[in-house]
Amino acid sequence: MFPKAHLIQAPTPLHRLDRISADLGLDLWIKRDDLTGFAMGGNKGRKLEYQIAEVLRTGAEVVVTCGAVQSNYIRQLGAACAMHGLRCVAAAMRLPYEYGPGDYPGLSDQGGNVVLDDILGVELHVYEDGTWERLYEHAAILAQKERLQGAKVHEIPIGGSSPLGAYAFLEAGRELQKQGEFDWIVFASSSGSTQTGLTHAYAGTATKVLGIASDPEPEIAADFAELSIGLMELIGAEKALRADDFLMNFDYVGPAYGIPSPEGTEAIQLMARREGIFLDPIYSGKAFAGLMSLAQKGEVKGKVCFWHTGGVPVLFA
Ligand SMILES: *Cc1c(COP(=O)(O)O)cnc(C)c1O
C-alpha cells in the first residue's frame, strides 16, 4: 500500500517454547523479531522499511533523529541509511529522564549499540543527561544546523514512532495472523508504534494485545491514541482507538526507563537457560518478566505469543 524498502526477512519465525510452557502451564510461543536478519534484528526494522522509502521519496540526504545512547532504533536506522547512501545524525543521552535522573546504575555509553553505530558511520552526538524535551531540542538544533549548511533534512521522531511505523506493525499483526491464533500477544511497549499497529490488527477479535511498559508514565496511552489517529488518516479508515483501548501494564518497569530491573535480569537468565534465547535488559527482559508473573497469577493464560522485539546488542552495554 505504501512504498517499502526491503530490509528484513519476513515472516519472522514463530515457534513454541516447550520448556517454559511446561514450567508455567501455558501454551507459550515466541515471535522472533530478534531474527529479522537486518542489522542484528529488532522491531525497528519493520518500521524502517516504510520510513526509509519515505525519506528516499522526499529526496533528503540527511536523516536526523534522537534517542537514548543505547537506542536500538538509531542502530537500525543507521544501517538503513548506510544502505541507501544517506547520512544518519542522532542526538543521544545516556539517560533521558522526565523527572530528573535516578540514583541507579544505568547502561554504559560504550559498547553495545554504540559500537555498532560507529561501525555503521552514524554521527552520534552524545549530550549531558537531561529530560526527553531537552533531547528533542538537541535533535531539532542538529537538524537546523544541517539545513543552514544546505542539506536536505528528514527528521524522524524518537523510536521511529510515526503513523507509518504503526502501519508496519498493523502489517506485522496480519503476518502473525497467518502463522497462528492466540489468546494473548504480549510484548515490550515504549514509544507506541508496535502496540498501536498490533492493537489495530487485532481490533474486534478475541485476541488480547498486552503491552508491558518499559516507561513508567501512564500518559503514554494518550500518545498511542494520537498515533492511532495518524494511522487512521494514513490508511483512510474512520475509527481510531482511544487511550483505554490499549491494554497496558506498568508494573514491570523496575527502577526507571533504561535501567535494568532484578526481575528482568532473572527473566533474561531463565529464557537463556531454558530455551537458549537471549532477551535484552531494557525492553524484552522486563516484558517477559511481566508475562511470567501475570501467568503465575492466572491473569494471562491459554495460548500466548511473546513477541520478541529484539534489543540483544544492549546485553553488551
Ligand atoms: C523500541 C523497542 C521496543 C518498543 O517498541 P515501540 O514501538 O517503540 O513501543 C521494544 N523492544 C525493543 C527491543 C525496542 O528496541
Mean pLDDT, residues 69-75 taken together: 96
Distance CA(71)–CA(59), nearest Å, equals 25
Tell the residue nearest (CA) to atom 15 of ligand 1: 72
For residue 72, which atom of ligand 1 is closest to its CA? 15
Tell the residue nearest (CA) to atom 8 of ligand 1: 191
> Judging by DSSP bridges, how do beta strands 62-68 and 14-16 pair with one another?
unpaired
21 as an active site residue: the answer is no
pLDDT tens-digit series, residues 233-251: 999 988 899 999 999 999 9
Predicted confidence at residue 103, as pLDDT, reads: 60
Whether the full predicted model's pTM is greater than 0.85, yes or no, is yes
Q: What percent of the chain has pLDDT over 70?
A: 97
- Contact at 8 Å (CB) between 257 and 216? yes
- Contact at 8 Å (CB) between 229 and 200? no
pLDDT tens-digit series, residues 257-290: 888 999 999 999 999 999 999 999 999 999 999 9
For residue 192, which atom of ligand 1 is closest to its CA? 9
pLDDT tens-digit series, residues 142-198: 999 999 999 999 999 888 889 999 999 999 999 999 999 999 999 999 999 999 999
Distance CA(298)–CA(294), nearest Å, equals 6
Q: What percent of the chain has pLDDT over 90?
A: 86
Residue of higher predicted confidence among 228 and 104: 228
Cβ contacts of 135 within 8 Å, gap of 6 or more: 66, 67, 91, 92, 93, 96, 127, 158
| Distance (Å) from CA 149 to ligand 1 centroid | 33
For residue 47, which atom of ligand 1 is closest to its CA? 7
pLDDT tens-digit series, residues 106-118: 788 899 999 999 9
| Distance (Å) from CA 68 to ligand 1 centroid | 12
Residue of higher predicted confidence among 88 and 131: 88
Cα radius of gyration rounded to whole Å, the chain: 18
DSSP letters along 80-120, please?
HHHHTT-EEEEEEES---SS---SS----SSSHHHHHHHHH
| Distance (Å) from CA 132 to ligand 1 centroid | 16
- Ligand 1 environment, Cβ below 6 A: 42-43, 72-73, 159, 161, 188-195, 280, 283-284, 309-311
Cβ contacts of 266 within 8 Å, gap of 6 or more: 289
Check pLDDT > 80 for residue 101.
no
Which contacts of 255-259 are long-range, i.e. CB under 8 A and separated by 24 or more positions?
255/102, 255/104, 256/97, 256/102, 256/104, 256/216, 257/97, 257/190, 257/214, 257/215, 257/216, 257/282, 258/68, 258/70, 258/95, 258/96, 258/106, 258/107, 258/282, 259/95, 259/102, 259/104, 259/105, 259/106
Task: Please pick, among 71, 189, 261, 284, the residue that the annotation labels catalytic.
Answer: 71
| Distance (Å) from CA 259 to ligand 1 centroid | 15
- Contact at 8 Å (CB) between 84 and 56? yes
